[in-house]
């Protein structure tokens, strides 16, 4: 059943996917980042055009059409799994985190289907050192969604219960 929190989670997923599409369109359209290569913004952050044929950090790079379709299928299955999880989840915080993950996944899957690669553009660096690969809004949404889920799971670990009698204090 689509409860209000689930609808909010799916709505967030659609919003993230739409924003990802808009930002990528701006990068390759008006900003002409593909042609320019790099736009220097501040000393630690640039816009740098990159085509990611793999997944995170360029792992599992699709070097053939079959591998490209394989990545699409695998990421699609993961996205479906997240959507099913959302349909079964009832905790609002988890639903919103899953919405971030699903929206980011949909944004990157769209690129992979349409272009054969994912457009990345955000380059966070300190001098020549890059603590992260070049990334995009969808990657940020996925990362934050996973971090929220992890934080919430650590926070909600079962705590030991005191089996003592509390009736005296509860009735006071």
Active site residues: 120, 139
* 8 Å CB contact between 99 and 16: yes
Chain centroid to CA 107: 9
Contacts of 127 (CB under 8 A, 6+ apart): none
**The 118-124 sheet, strands edge to edge:** 38-42, 45-52, 118-124
What is the rounded CA–CA span in Å between residue 135 and residue 115? 17
Q: Which of 80, 86, 75 is closest to 138 using CA atoms?
A: 75
């Amino acid at each position: 059943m689509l409860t209000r929190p689930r609808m909010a989670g799916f709505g967030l997923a659609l919003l993230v996917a739409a924003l990802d599409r808009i930002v990528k369109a701006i990068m390759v359209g008006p900003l002409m980042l593909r042609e320019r290569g790099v736009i220097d913004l501040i000393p630690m952050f640039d816009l740098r055009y990159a085509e990611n044929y793999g997944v995170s950090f360029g792992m599992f790079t699709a070097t053939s059409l079959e591998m490209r379709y394989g990545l699409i299928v695998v990421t699609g299955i993961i996205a479906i799994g997240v959507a099913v999880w959302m349909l079964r989840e009832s905790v609002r915080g988890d639903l919103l985190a899953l919405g971030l993950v699903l929206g980011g996944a949909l944004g990157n899957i769209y690129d992979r289907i349409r272009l054969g690669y994912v457009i990345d553009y955000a380059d966070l660096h300190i001098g020549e050192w890059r603590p992260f690969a070049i990334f995009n809004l969808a990657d940020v949404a996925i990362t934050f969604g996973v971090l929220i889920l992890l934080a919430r799971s650590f926070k909600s670990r079962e705590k030991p219960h005191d089996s003592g009698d509390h009736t005296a204090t509860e009735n006071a």
